[in-house]
Amino acid sequence: MASFDVLPLRAILFQLLFLVTAIALESMVLRNRLEIGRKTSIQFAATTNLLSTVIGWMLFFIAEPLLSDEWRSQLISYIFFDLTTNPPLLIGLAFVSFIATFLVKLEGITWLELLLSIKKDAETEARATAKFQGKHGRRAAFADVPNRPLAVLWANAISFSAITLLIGVRLLFDQALGNS
Amino acid sequence: MITILDQIRKRLKAPGWASWQTFISLSVFSVIVAGITNSPIQIIIANLGWLFLVIGIWWFTYDPIVKKKLTFNGLFIGPWIVGAIMCLWLFGSWNGAPTPASFISWPPVSALIWSTRRFIKGDPDKKTPTYTVPKPDDRQDIVLMLLSNLIISCWFQLHFLLQDWLIAYPTIRSDDFSRSAFVVELYPENTSNTGGITLLNAAEQSLKTRLEGKPWADVERWLSPEQLNQEIPRLAADAQKQMPRSSENNLWDLRGRVLPDSQYTLELQAIWQGPSARTEGYYITKACQISQGRKLGPPATVDPGSSAPSPRLGTVKCEAPSQPRPIPPQTQT
């Protein structure tokens, strides 16, 4: 029978916070760099972030049973007691997940375009903006396709930095509370 | 209350055969029939009952009045109700209690139910529903709904993973989770450190079988430093055998030493080497007085009559286990 004594509520709250932050920031970056509409940019950012989160969780649940006792013990220390016994591993994992989320997001946007048959819309939108703001629009018109990986990379970098910052703020708060 | 009952009665009476009430009644009827039949037919009928229940509830939630009541902030929660019943049916245990699988499958199944309407188009000519490819906006909604529900089901999965860990390593339950960035402990009580206490009690038992009632000279030899270094590992192995099987057993280390300047106070230490809020780890001790039977002379010692004539026998008397203490650097060899 399931027991509901120890709940991962903090993990859920942090995840929601990180998702909202990432979607907000990334949609802004994508809108500026890809010259797409507000709605499309939010669609891209939301879908890709949710997708990479789901894939990340799946990988975690696939990998967890394969861990050795020693590593599982470290994972438990990290999750229950916030003890980072192996900082290099953590940094390495963050780096790998940065690359992985970048690739997932880049592919995800392509899949989403296929699924929504959005290609035409984005182009017309870009042309529409070109009419209003000539300079930006012209640049977008022929820099649209090659620009995209760079734009997604920027978006990913900015959202990861923001999340890192949030984690840092939390650690600072924790230490301040712990010392007092 | 009465008005609600009246409403229910009115709604139960009203329609013709093609209605959700029919399916609910069919489901109730199936339950009754399943109750009086035997195994192979019973399973079929019970499953039919669940099927009728799902269809009935599904239909019921799309009743315009009910649908309006179940819509909060523009989100219609009917699919999650139908999804819950469906997952109970597919993954629940036989008495209907939800299992981890039913929790984990609930959000994505509900999202699929939610999206079915977007694949169905009312045919204006024949008035029958036909399959349709959803509009692009609907496709976006379906993708977002599916992905966000998959994340929710990952949270359920995480919850059950944490429960598995707490069962596999019961000792961490007694520790302090307040620093965790992941979990919240709803009732943070001072749960006693069961693993260590069980080990120490088991060690006490083994110690008593070894020393109690043995000639005092043997007891003293057992307690001499060289002999003790060999005996403690054997004692630990014995105690480990008495522990209930659990994957955390090899994370408990048992050590023992005779306290200096004592006529044999044996201190048993259970050292926790698994995950803990205390970085250096901690240990629990149990002090055992080992003395000659006659001098101690408590009335409740083990053998009152039979071995009374022989005076120099070992007796073991142990205190209750201590509170967990952090390991000082020099003890950790």
pLDDT tens digits, one per residue of A169-178:
998 888 787 6
- Beta-carbon pairs below 8 A across chains A and B: 126
Pairing of strands B282-292, B184-185: unpaired
Reply yes or no on whether the pLDDT at B175 is more than 70.
yes
Question: What's the pLDDT score for residue B155?
Answer: 95
Those residues with Cβ within 8 angstroms of residue A168's Cβ, 6 or more apart along the chain or in another chain = none
Reply yes or no on whether the pLDDT at B112 is more than 50.
yes
Q: Which of A28-37, B144-153, B250-259 has the highest mean pLDDT?
A: B144-153
* B 201-260: CB under 8 A from A: 247, 251
Q: Domain residues of chain B, as ranges?
A: 2-170, 194-297+309-326
Interface of A with B (CB under 8 A): 1-12, 14-15, 43, 46-47, 50-51, 53-54, 57-58, 61, 64, 69, 73-74, 76-77, 79-83, 112, 115-118, 170, 174, 178
Reply yes or no on whether the pLDDT at A155 is more than 90.
yes
Residues of B in contact with A115 (CB under 8 A): 139, 143
pLDDT tier for residue A166 given thresholds of 50, 70 and 90: very high
Reply yes or no on whether the pLDDT at A114 is more than 80.
yes
Nearest chain A residue to B187 by CA distance is A5
Reply yes or no on whether the pLDDT at B158 is more than 90.
yes
> Is A179 part of any domain?
no
Q: Which of B74-83, B139-148, B190-199, B223-232 has the highest mean pLDDT?
A: B139-148
> Taking residues B15-33, what's their average pLDDT?
77
Reply yes or no on whether the pLDDT at B116 is more than 70.
yes
Reply yes or no on whether the pLDDT at B215 is more than 70.
yes
DSSP element (H, E) containing B333: none
Residues of B in contact with A43 (CB under 8 A): 140
> Is A69 part of any domain?
yes
Question: What's the pLDDT score for residue B105?
Answer: 93
Reply yes or no on whether the pLDDT at A134 is more than 70.
no
Cβ burial, residue B9 (10 Å; 0-12/13-18/19+): exposed
Question: How many C-beta neighbours within 10 Å does residue B278 have?
Answer: 15
Those residues with Cβ within 8 angstroms of residue B80's Cβ, 6 or more apart along the chain or in another chain = B106, B107, B110, B114
Q: Please give the residue that has the higher pLDDT: either B246 or B180.
A: B180
pLDDT tier for residue B294 given thresholds of 50, 70 and 90: low
Distance from CA of A127 to the nearest CA of B (A): 21
Question: What's the pLDDT score for residue B332?
Answer: 45
Mean of the per-residue pLDDT values of chain A: 83
Those residues with Cβ within 8 angstroms of residue B89's Cβ, 6 or more apart along the chain or in another chain = B47, B50, B51, B53, B54
Query: Domain range for residue A144?
Result: 32-168
> Is A121 part of any domain?
yes
> Is A18 part of any domain?
no
> Taking residues B65-85, what's their average pLDDT?
86
Given an 8 Å threshold on Cβ–Cβ distance, is A117 in contact with B185? Answer: no
> Taking residues A28-45, what's their average pLDDT?
89
Question: What's the pLDDT score for residue B143?
Answer: 93
Question: What's the pLDDT score for residue B308?
Answer: 47
Tokens at B322, concatenated: 């201590």
Residues of A in contact with B103 (CB under 8 A): 2
Given an 8 Å threshold on Cβ–Cβ distance, is B160 in contact with A4? Answer: no
Reply yes or no on whether the pLDDT at B140 is more than 60.
yes
Q: Please give the residue that has the higher pLDDT: either A24 or A118.
A: A24
pLDDT tier for residue A143 given thresholds of 50, 70 and 90: very low
Residues of A in contact with B177 (CB under 8 A): 6, 80-81
Q: Which of B20-34, B146-160, B314-328 has the highest mean pLDDT?
A: B146-160
pLDDT tier for residue A142 given thresholds of 50, 70 and 90: low
Give the one of A4, A61, A170 whose C-beta lies nearest to B157's C-beta: A61
Reply yes or no on whether the pLDDT at A69 is more than 90.
no
Distance from CA of B78 to the nearest CA of A (A): 23
Angle between helices B225-242 and B216-223 (to 10 degrees): 90
Question: What's the pLDDT score for residue B150?
Answer: 96
ipTM score of complex: 0.83
Given an 8 Å threshold on Cβ–Cβ distance, is A81 in contact with B179? Answer: yes
Of the ranges A22-26, B46-50, B324-328, which one carries the lowest mean pLDDT score?
A: B324-328
Q: What percent of chain A has pLDDT over 90?
A: 51
* B94/A contact by beta carbon, under 8 A: no
Q: Which of helix, strand or coil describes residue B34?
A: helix
> Is A27 part of any domain?
no
| pLDDT tens digit sequence for B238-264 | 888 887 777 777 788 888 888 877 777
Question: What's the pLDDT score for residue A148?
Answer: 87
- Domain count across chain A: 1
Residues of B in contact with A12 (CB under 8 A): 155
Question: What's the pLDDT score for residue A102?
Answer: 95
pLDDT tier for residue B128 given thresholds of 50, 70 and 90: confident
Reply yes or no on whether the pLDDT at B94 is more than 70.
no
SS3 content of chain A, % helix, strand, coil (to 5): 90, 0, 10
Question: What's the pLDDT score for residue A137?
Answer: 47
* B88/A contact by beta carbon, under 8 A: no
Question: What's the pLDDT score for residue A12?
Answer: 95
Question: What's the pLDDT score for residue B330?
Answer: 54
Give the one of B97, B100, B182 whose C-beta lies nearest to A10's C-beta: B182
Mutate to test the interface with A, among B161, B171, B183 (most CBs of A within 10 A): B183
Given an 8 Å threshold on Cβ–Cβ distance, is B277 in contact with A81? Answer: yes
Q: Please give the residue that has the higher pLDDT: either B284 or B148.
A: B148
* B12/A contact by beta carbon, under 8 A: no
Nearest chain B residue to A50 by CA distance is B147
* Contact between residue A41 and residue B142 where contact means Cβ atoms under 8 Å apart: no
